[in-house]
Structure 1
Amino acid sequence: MCPYKIDIDDLGFPIIKDNDRIYITNSHHKIKIPVLDENTALFLGIMWGDGCITNNNLAKANYDWSIRIVEDDKLFLQSLLKLIKNIFYIEAHVFHYKVKYEVKFNSKIIYHILNKQFKFPDGEKKDRLHIPLQILKDPSLSKNFLKGLFSTDGCLTLSNNYPRITLSSASFEFIKEVDKLLKKLKFRPNLNVYNRKVGNKLFNIRLNGYEQVRLFYKEINFIGDKLPKLEKTLTAP
C-alpha cells in the first residue's frame, strides 16, 4: 500500500516545515512529518487500546501535550519504543511503576493529529472511542490497527485444547465497530456482554477455535509476549 498523507495544515496553530521535519514556533523539538501507513496504523491501535492523552483544557493550562501508553509487557515495550522512533523520530520516556510501565512523550503536533485528524478523545475514553474512518477504508491499515488493539486489550486463552482470542472494552459502540470490521475481514466473531459485580458492563469479542485463531495469526497477529504464546498454541501437538 502507498502511505496516505496526514493533514498537518488544519491543526489550529502554525507549523514550520524543515525538509522532512516539522516543529512549532519557539520549539527546537522537531518530529518527522508523519504519514498514515502500516506502522502508524499499528501505533493508533495501541493508542486506542492502552493509550491516553491529557484533557484538552488541562493541556492548554499546563502546556502538557503528553501522549501516554501503560503496559506491563517488556517485549511489547521494546517494540513500541522502536515504533515511536520510526514514525516520529521521537525518543519516548519510560517510567516504571511497580508492575506497570508508562511510555510517555510530549508533542503538541502529535497530540492534535491524534485528537483532530483521528478523533482520539482527550481525557476519559469510555464511550468516546471510534475506529478512524481512514483506517476503515484500507484493509492493510485495518489489520495493523487491529494488531495494535488486540496486542494491548486482547488475550489468548486455551481451555481443554480449545483456543480463544478475546478483546474486551467498556465502550459498546466501539466494540460493535470492531465486530463489524472483523466480519469485513472474513472473521466470525462472537459479541458478548459481561455484567461485572463492580463497575460498568464489559463487552467482549471472541474468536473461537483453531480455525479462527489461525486466521488471526495469518491476517492480524500480536506483538509482544502474546506472539510466542500464540505460536506455541498453534504448534502444540
Structure 2
Amino acid sequence: AVLDGFDLKVEPGQVVGLVGASGSGKSSVLAVLMRFYEPQEGAVLLDGIDARSLDASWIRGPRAVAMVSQDPALFAASVRDNIRYGRPDASDEEVAAAAAVANAAGFIERLPEGYGTFVGERGLQLSGGQRQRIAIARAVITDPKVLLLDEATSALDSESEALVQEALARISTGRTVIKVAHRLNTVRDADVIVVLEAGRVAEAGRHDELLAARGAFWSLMRAQDPGASA
C-alpha cells in the first residue's frame, strides 16, 4: 500500500505493533525504514537524522537496523555462515549464543553436522519454522538498535511461536522494536499498537485502551477472535 499522510514517532526502546487489514501499509512502513524505498514526500528520521543522508548499507548493518521478514532468505551455505551473515566477524561462540536466544540451538545441534550443516538453496533442507529461527538468530547477532519484525512468527507452529515470542521479549530490552502482525495476540504486550488503514494511522494506543475505545482495533480483534473483544 502507498503510505499517504503517514505520521508516527517511535521513542527509543519502545515496542510498537503495526496492525491492519491486508494491504493497509504495514510492510511498506518497514520497507521505507530499511530504505528499500525512498519517500517521495516527507522524511524518515533516525535519531533526528534524515535517513537519506545515511548510507543504506550502514542502516542495514551491524548495530543499526535489523529485519526479520515473513519469508526469510537463507543462502546455500552452512547454518553457521547463515547466522554469521548478519555480522561476518562474529565468533563461533557468538553464533551459538544468538541461536540460543532465537531458540534455534536445540534443533541445530540435532542436525547431522550441527552448525556446519549445509541448509541447501534458500534453506530448503530446513522447515519453515527452522528457517525463521535462523533468520532471527542472524538479526540477534547484529545487536541492532532497531529490530523490525514483519510477521516474524507467522511460519511457526503454536509451540515454536511461544518459544520465539519469549526469546524476542528478552532481546527487545534496550532496543526499539517495530512488529508487523496479522495475529493480533502477538502484539498484546506492545507499548503502542498502531492501526493502519489505507496507508494512514487510524488509531494508536495500548491493547486494553484500543479495545475499550471500540474503534478500528476492536473491529479487527472481533473479526479475528469474537470472544476476545466481547
Q: TM-score, normalised by structure 2?
A: 0.29
Q: Which has the higher contact order (CA 8 A, sep 6+)?
A: 2
* Higher strand residue share: 1
Q: TM-score, normalised by structure 1?
A: 0.28
